[in-house]
Amino acid sequence: MEALFDPLISDAPYEMTDWQERDLRYLAPMPYSANWSQMGCYKTSTALWLMERKKVRNALIITSKVGKGAYFSDFYRCLPESWELYNLAIHDAQLIHGDFSKKVDQDELFDEIDTGFHNYPKVILAHYDVFTTAANNTSRKRAEGGPGILDKLKRLEFDFILCDEAHRLKNRKAQWTINIKKLKSLNRHVMSGTAFVNNPAEMWSLLNFLEKREWGSYWSFRNYFCDQYLDARGYRVIRGIERSRLDEFRKLRKRLGPRHTMATVHKGVPHPIETEQYVDLNPTQRKMYRDIKSVLQTLDKNGETIQSPNVLSQLNRLRQVAVATPEVLSRQFSTKQQRMITEIKLTEPSSKLDAVMELFNELDDGQKVVVFSNFKDPLDLLKLRFEKKGIGYVHMQERHNENERYRIWHDEFRRPERQVFLSTLALGGESINLTCAQYLVFLDRSWSPAAMKQAIGRVYRPGQEHPVEVIFINANGTVDRYVLSKLQTKDKWFDQVFAD
């Protein structure tokens, strides 16, 4: 067997807490359930013990690529060595045992699960991308017209399916959401500290995965629980939770499973300090920003401001320009979108990156920093600055596979010479542990409060021994303030349902 990783953290078995035991007694008899606890409240270990409590013979765990690392390290700290964990890829599978992995035949693994001819429980670990139609077509091509990976999984009936980071099911029309809901299982469990991302209606998709008969209609759920209005275009827009249904909504989520918070579970971990820092755009940024903003809004026949069809892409462009100076690579008119498309690349100078570098003048020896952005270019620019200053960093990127990503955050970033962890919010904002850092810097915000909460939960979690400072760098007079206002509204909706 080949070595999977070099662990720097103790691999001693976990001890179950009293409140986890209470949770398991409540969850074990339920054919479908949920764990809504905040990040860092041991959802992974509780789910692994739940499989043992249910006495499953086989199970499927679905998580993000980065999230696989938590199961690599926690599986045998919770379950007996006789259990078998298989890391599933599109074309093959690996048996994971402790610090080692071994390739196995995928078809033989599926046959053993299908027939039940195996002595010990088998657990398959897969990431969400496996459940796309593209992945199925790719594996069909490799099989020369034979069944693809999805075709094979749909034939099986699992004892237990766990969807980790279940907020990824929010889009009911997404390929992986549709395909995952077609899988057969006797028991289903979802885990998410942020059960809906943009509005309360998104929670329907998670509930529909758990039990189609009880939550069969999206529009019935939305019209029953959500307060809605018609905008200037005639679209029905959600503006919160129907006040008369709020208590019923809260009872629904409590019935499905527990929610624990860091404040109640880990009283010794100080709550993070959040700091808003404001900078002025440099002249080049400011000019490009004004040019883009001038075509952002239009007026209807009554003189009311309405959003253009391309408003989201324009807003995202404004968010980019607020981070660093744009260099125009090309401009061409799109007949499909009926607008001028400008391709840009972010370059120096950047007021926000200047603010990041100033932070390093204030750090004590050994203090580490995590930097997140929604865009790749600013991170590449920071790398050049760090190399010039001799600051050690690690950069987690899309090209890294799950094993490499695990090494980056689990091993490399913990080394004394690595002072900075760089990643896009989409890639590194969930399912990893960065408690060796004391500072977390956001160059820009996501549209999703769930993504921001998940990202903060990488540093503010069990194992953190120091106060954490979360720094949001904002550009004066830009879309940054608008994004913040939208996040505050969405946070209010979330707290209405999940705050006790």
Q: Render 366-428 in DSSP notation, one character per residue.
A: T--EEEEESSHHHHHHHHHHHHHHT--EEE--TTS-HHHHHHHHHTGGGSTT--EEEEEHHHH
* Statement to judge: residues 54 and 193 lie in one domain: yes
| Segment 272-278 mean pLDDT | 92
* Statement to judge: residues 323 and 376 lie in one domain: no
pLDDT the model gives residue 485:
87
Longest dimension (CA), the chain: 72
* Statement to judge: residues 337 and 356 lie in one domain: no
Note the pLDDT tens digit of each residue in 217-245: 999 999 999 998 887 778 888 888 899 99
* Statement to judge: residues 374 and 327 lie in one domain: no
361: in domain: yes
| Segment 472-489 mean pLDDT | 90
* Statement to judge: residues 39 and 62 lie in one domain: yes
Residues in the chain: 500
254: in domain: no
231: in domain: no
Helix (H), strand (E), coil (C) string for 7-18: CCCCCCCCCCCH
Number of domains forming the structure of the chain: 3
321: in domain: yes
255: in domain: no
What's the CATH code of the domain at 195?
A: 3.40.50.10810
Has residue 55 got a pLDDT over 90? yes
Cis peptide before 7 (omega within 30 of 0): no
* Statement to judge: residues 326 and 364 lie in one domain: no
127: in domain: yes
pLDDT the model gives residue 387:
95
What is the band of 8 on the pLDDT scale with cuts at 50, 70, 90? very low
* Statement to judge: residues 430 and 368 lie in one domain: yes
pLDDT the model gives residue 340:
61
- Mark which of 332, 347, 362 sits at the end of a domain: 347
Sign for the CA dihedral angle at 165, 167, 173, 174 comes to negative
* Statement to judge: residues 158 and 217 lie in one domain: yes
Global pTM exceeds 0.85: no
91: in domain: yes
pLDDT, greater one: 159 or 118:
159
Has residue 364 got a pLDDT over 90? no
pLDDT the model gives residue 5:
43
* Statement to judge: residues 153 and 38 lie in one domain: yes
Cis peptide before 349 (omega within 30 of 0): yes
- Mark which of 208, 225, 242 sits at the end of a domain: 225
Mean residue pLDDT across the chain: 87
* Statement to judge: residues 452 and 423 lie in one domain: yes
- Mark which of 322, 347, 372 sits at the end of a domain: 347
Angle at 97 between CA 95 and CA 100, to 5 degrees: 90
246: in domain: no
Host H or E run for residue 471:
strand 469-475
* Statement to judge: residues 7 and 59 lie in one domain: yes
pLDDT the model gives residue 277:
94
* Statement to judge: residues 305 and 432 lie in one domain: no
What is the band of 448 on the pLDDT scale with cuts at 50, 70, 90? confident
| Segment 337-355 mean pLDDT | 80
What's the CATH code of the domain at 427?
A: 3.40.50.300
Percentage of the chain beyond pLDDT 90 is 54
Residue-range definition of the domain harbouring residue 308: 283-347
> What 3-state class would DSSP assign to 46?
helix
CA distances from 284 to 99, 183, 289, 325, 482 (A): 51, 52, 9, 6, 22
